[in-house]
Amino acid sequence: MGVLKSVSLITQDARMLDLIERINRIADSDISVLLIGETGVGKEVFTDYIHHLSKRGPYPLVKIGLATLPPDLLESELFGFEKGSFTNADHSKKGMFEIAHLGTLFLDDIDDSPLNVQSKLLRAIEAEEIRHIGGTSAIPINVRLVCASKMEVKDLVDNKLFRQDLYYRINVVELRIPPLRERRNDIPLLAKHFLKRYKPKEKLFISDEVMSIFMSYDWPGNVRELRNVVQRSSLFAEGVIKVKDLPDRFKYNNRIEKIVQACKICFDSNGMSYGDLIKCIEVRLLSEAMSKTNGNQSNAAKNLGMKLSTFRDKIKKLEIN
């Protein structure tokens, strides 16, 4: 787990720690870094980390999303413009490459950049200088590039949607940030981190059942989704975050194989005994059946294909309410 100035990059996952290790080794060079990962995995967090760790830390970190702006506007944002270079240009303006001078330029959603913008980016990076739109003089640039992509840029190159020469320029080092579902042991760590962040003054806990749902959920929105869920649930919860405090999609998604998978992770990482593992699976199955039927024991037993008396014995023995 690392906390660097204002950047908190929380993890205990071996692959993530390996990425951090690699970053530590290259931070001080001016090597371009390409971060690849699904939405919400922490590409921007890694960018902050790289920037603040490098000797460029005291200089600006400038971020621009290449997917959000129309090409013309994007170009003027990146390279700046001279007064009178187009209608409404009643003043000149610096571009992001200049504003980031001596610092880091973060090009987000590079996979979505239009081909003509890609050509201009390549020219700027190769020549290490830019020209304002409507300007004639060359302005030298000195930035470290960090780019982020949700897709494999290599695939885009193969499909002629991304310039190969630009790809080689931006991916001197390529770092793949694994999705949260591939590093489930980060889930409790991150959940507790966000709980502390959003409710710093309160003693608020996450119930075991909620944590087991978190452990088996697929997190398509990754860490951002987890952050939002913890933030939202902590608003409703009193003392303990329970299943009822979660958004609906969490209440009905606990399928058996996912439960078993989550328990297996506990088993592998916490050195649980076999008996405890079986108990853990039973508790989760029975609790899930109860919450799905709003506490109706006959229906819950029926759903599990179990006699009502057996069901009652079990929930009593396992102290499930």
Q: Is 4 in the site for ligand ATP (CB under 6 A)?
A: no
Q: Is 40 in the site for ligand ATP (CB under 6 A)?
A: yes
Neighbours of 319 (CB within 10 A): 7
What is the signed CA dihedral for 8, 12, 18, 19, rounded to 10 degrees? -30
Q: Which does 37 bind (CB under 5 to 8 A by kind): Mg ion, ligand ATP, none?
A: ligand ATP
Contact 214, 187 (CB under 8 A): yes
Q: Which is nearer to ligand ATP, 128 or 182 (CB)?
A: 182
The footprint of ligand ATP on this chain (CB under 6 A) covers a number of residues equal to 16
Binding region for ligand ATP (CB under 6 A) out of 9-17, 79-87, 112-120, 242-250: 9-17
Q: Is 63 in the site for ligand ATP (CB under 6 A)?
A: no
User: How many Å apart are CA 161 and CA 116, to the nearest integer?
Assistant: 11
| Cα three-residue angle 139-164-169, rounded to 5 degrees | 45
Q: Which is nearer to ligand ATP, 9 or 260 (CB)?
A: 9
In the window 215-234, what residues touch ligand ATP (CB under 6 A)?
223-224, 227
Residue nearest to ligand ATP (CB): 42
Binding region for Mg ion (CB under 5 A) out of 36-44, 47-55, 165-173, 215-223: 36-44
Task: Give the per-residue SS3 of 279-301.
Answer: HHHHHHHHHHHHHHCCCCHHHHH
- Sign of the dihedral through C-alpha 39, 41, 43, 45: positive
Contact 4, 52 (CB under 8 A): yes
Binding region for Mg ion (CB under 5 A) out of 5-13, 39-47, 241-249, 266-274: 39-47
In the window 88-117, what residues touch Mg ion (CB under 5 A)?
none
Q: Which is nearer to ligand ATP, 175 or 211 (CB)?
A: 175
Q: Is 41 in the site for ligand ATP (CB under 6 A)?
A: yes
Q: Which residues, 6 or more positions from 78, have their beta carbon under 8 angstroms from its beta carbon?
A: 64, 95, 96, 97, 117, 120, 121, 124, 130
Q: How far is the CB of 43 from Mg ion (least distance, A)?
A: 5
Residue nearest to Mg ion (CB): 44
- Helical H runs in 171-273? 186-198, 208-216, 222-236, 256-270
Q: Is 44 in the site for Mg ion (CB under 5 A)?
A: yes
Q: Is 39 in the site for ligand ATP (CB under 6 A)?
A: yes
What is the signed CA dihedral for 142, 147, 152, 155, rounded to 10 degrees? -40
Q: Is 103 in the site for ligand ATP (CB under 6 A)?
A: no
Query: By the criterion CB under 6 A, which residues form the site for ligand ATP?
Result: 8-11, 37, 39-45, 150, 223-224, 227
Query: By the criterion CB under 5 A, which residues form the site for Mg ion?
Result: 43-44
